[in-house]
Amino acid sequence: MEAKPTVSFEDTAVAFCYKSDAAMRKANFIFSLVNHPWISAIATQSVRVALWLRLPVESLIRRTVFDHFCGGESIQKTSSVSALLGQYGVNTILDYSVEGAKSEAGFDYVMEETLRTIEQAHNADNVPFSVFKPTGIGSAELLEKVQKKSPLDANEKASYERIRIRMDNICKRAHQYQIPVLIDAEESWIQEAIDCLANEMMARYNTRKAIVFNTFQMYREVSLRNLRDSHHLATMHNYFLGAKLVRGAYMEKERARAEAMDYPSPIHPTKEATDNAFNQALAFCIDNKQRVSVMCGSHNEYSNYYLTVLMEKHSMKNADERVWFAQLYGMSDNISFSLAKVGYRVAKYVPYGPVRAVMPYLLRRASENTSVAGQSSRELMLIRKEIRRRKGST
Ligand SMILES: Cc1cc2nc3c(=O)[nH]c(=O)nc-3n(C[C@H](O)[C@H](O)[C@H](O)COP(=O)(O)OP(=O)(O)OC[C@H]3O[C@@H](n4cnc5c(N)ncnc54)[C@H](O)[C@@H]3O)c2cc1C
């Protein structure tokens, strides 16, 4: 039986319902700027230099890209964005996007901040998840050594134990408040160490439902097998598997390292192979929905649509609490708002932090939205279509 389409991503009136005309013009300006490779390169380089020279550009950045991609400079300041999204059924995931000091004190600070996001989620209506990046709470070098099973000296053993304690503190609080927590995925040379910790946390806190979610990067050739193995582990030890599926953000870095160090690239050889793996992973999660809760972390229209079709085929309600769709704030509103409108569970990662500190995050968004083949990005086309529609000329 053919499943009936339940959602369309083409209606820009739905996509940008929460944006004023001024906000649309700003979005048009930002995406037009970053769309051109050379303008984008000059602009991002100028920002780097200006910040390094401590020139007063923060307020300009705050009023433009920061405003578009971030929720505010502190948890409290994200509340108006979160309330606005909530009016349209789109939830918020507070993402402390500061790539801070790599010291024990810095790691403790990120843990404390993550605990504060859980408190905030507990007190708010539409903040259903919390999230953290493992290298925010522990050293990447140490995780790499753990993964390689290199011998650790006494200090390193103590530092590793502190990573585990920080992660446990976060997951314990998430469990106490019943606010699921997403563990972001990182580079392959530390990801197995992260997976081990994530499995330990899931076994401890996912006994009644998925509270801890590990992330599976489907651009990695091993990830489908890892997903199946994680499911097997969850079945054997009788806990629930929380699986956030993403394609993966570090492709160039992964390939460059593999080449430089002369080992086979862990990444699928083509985009099509990554897409297939991602969609198979979605199907695997839905096939095993009795034990798996899934978050589709993607801006890919086909994958999001495919998940709605899988749900329909399995006779699941749109609002089934085991299935979540998530996109980044400031991107792919056509997916988020269209899904939310017909009752799916949708959330936006809403980054926050001081302007200067979230700059690496903003620069990554700029490069991600730069046109490679000279054509306008999908994002820019949708923004322009909506501006034309509002002027009444479509
Ligand atoms: C809510 C959310 C949470 C996220 N969390 C994480 C996280 O924890 N860890 C993380 O690493 N990323 C994370 N990401 C980023 C994500 O991994 C992707 O980089 C990004 O979303 C683009 O992929 P896509 O599915 O949106 O869409 P698409 O634009 O369809 O896919 C682009 C992706 O496909 C893959 N790809 C592109 N070209 C090739 C090629 N030639 N060969 C093989 N593969 C290719 C790459 O992964 C690339 O990023 C997250 C994204 C979202 C929306």
pLDDT in tens, 159-197: 999 999 999 999 999 999 999 999 999 999 999 999 999
pLDDT at 237 over 60: yes
Flag the least confident range among 10-14, 67-71, 374-378: 374-378
Q: Which two tokens stand for residue 297?
A: 């972390």
CA 237 to centroid of ligand 1, rounded, Å: 31
State the closest ligand 1 atom to the C-alpha of 267, by its place in the atom list counted from 1. 43
Average pLDDT value for the chain: 93
Cα separation, 46 vs 65, whole angstroms:
14
| Cβ–ligand 1 contact at 268 (below 6 Å) | yes
Residue 56's pLDDT is: 76
Q: Which among 97, 298, 307 is the best mutation to test ligand 1's pocket, defined by most ligand atoms within 8 Å of the CB?
A: 298
Q: What angle do CA 325, 83, 131 make, to 5 degrees?
A: 45
Segment 309-325, tens digit of pLDDT = 999 999 999 999 999 99
Residue closest via CA to ligand 1's atom 33 equals 247
Residue closest via CA to ligand 1's atom 15 equals 249
Segment 114-134, tens digit of pLDDT = 999 999 999 999 999 999 999
For the segment 284-309, the average pLDDT, to the nearest whole number, is: 98
Which one, of 133, 124, 140, lies nearest residue 170 by Cα? 133
Residue 100's pLDDT is: 64
For 190-193, the CB contacts below 8 A with 24+ separation are 190/134, 190/135, 190/140, 190/143, 190/144, 190/147, 191/147, 191/217, 191/220, 192/147, 193/143, 193/144, 193/146, 193/147
What b/e string do you get for 92-102 counting C-beta neighbours within 10 Å, with b at 16 or more? bbbbbbbbeee
pLDDT category, 98, cuts 50, 70, 90? Answer: confident
> How crowded is residue 107: how many other Cβ atoms within 10 Å of its Cβ?
21
Residue closest via CA to ligand 1's atom 40 equals 271
Residue 1's pLDDT is: 43
pLDDT category, 47, cuts 50, 70, 90? Answer: confident
Segment 250-279, tens digit of pLDDT = 999 999 999 999 999 999 999 999 999 999
Which one, of 88, 175, 164, lies nearest residue 130 by Cα? 175
State the closest ligand 1 atom to the C-alpha of 217, by its place in the atom list counted from 1. 11
Query: What percentage of residues in the chain have a pLDDT greater than 70?
Result: 96
Query: What percentage of residues in the chain have a pLDDT greater than 90?
Result: 80
Q: Kindly tell me the burial class for residue 304, based on how many C-beta atoms sit within 10 Å of its own C-beta (0-12, 13-18, 19 or more).
A: buried
CA 299 to centroid of ligand 1, rounded, Å: 8
Higher-confidence residue: 44 or 383?
383
For the segment 294-305, the average pLDDT, to the nearest whole number, is: 97
End-to-end alpha-carbon separation of the chain, Å? 36
pLDDT at 204 over 70: yes
Q: What is the 3-state secondary structure (H, E, C) of 24-54?
A: HHHHHHHHHHHHCHHHHHHHHHHHHHHHHCC
Phi, psi of 220 (to 5 degrees): -85, 135
For the segment 28-34, the average pLDDT, to the nearest whole number, is: 88
Q: Which among 221, 247, 346 is the best mutation to test ligand 1's pocket, defined by most ligand atoms within 8 Å of the CB?
A: 247
- H or E segment to which residue 341 belongs: helix 333-341
| Cβ–ligand 1 contact at 222 (below 6 Å) | no
For the segment 204-230, the average pLDDT, to the nearest whole number, is: 98
Residue 262's pLDDT is: 97
Segment 327-374, tens digit of pLDDT = 999 999 999 999 999 999 999 999 999 988 888 888 888 777 765 555
Residues comprising the chain, all counted: 394
Which one, of 177, 198, 185, lies nearest residue 297 by Cα? 185
Q: Which two tokens stand for residue 78?
A: 């994200």
pLDDT category, 2, cuts 50, 70, 90? Answer: low
| Cβ–ligand 1 contact at 365 (below 6 Å) | no
Residue closest via CA to ligand 1's atom 25 equals 298
| Cβ–ligand 1 contact at 298 (below 6 Å) | yes
3-state secondary structure of 326: strand
In the DSSP assignment, the letter for residue 218 is T
Q: What's the one-letter identity of residue 325?
A: F
CA 138 to centroid of ligand 1, rounded, Å: 24
| Cβ–ligand 1 contact at 60 (below 6 Å) | no
Helix 271-287 to helix 223-236 angle, to the nearest 10 degrees? 20
Strand partners, 323: 294
Cα separation, 81 vs 15, whole angstroms:
16
CA 259 to centroid of ligand 1, rounded, Å: 21
Residue closest via CA to ligand 1's atom 4 equals 297
Q: Which residues contact 243 (CB under 8 A, 6 or more apart)?
A: 213, 214, 215, 216, 227, 230, 281, 285, 292, 293, 294, 295
Dihedral angle sign, alpha carbons of residues 266, 295, 126, 200: negative
Residue 393's pLDDT is: 60
| Cβ–ligand 1 contact at 67 (below 6 Å) | no
Q: Which residues contact 208 (CB under 8 A, 6 or more apart)?
A: 240
Cα separation, 281 vs 246, whole angstroms:
10
Cα separation, 344 vs 323, whole angstroms:
8
| Cβ–ligand 1 contact at 265 (below 6 Å) | no
- Label residue 303 left, alpha or beta by phi (over 0 means left) and psi (-120 to 50 means alpha): alpha
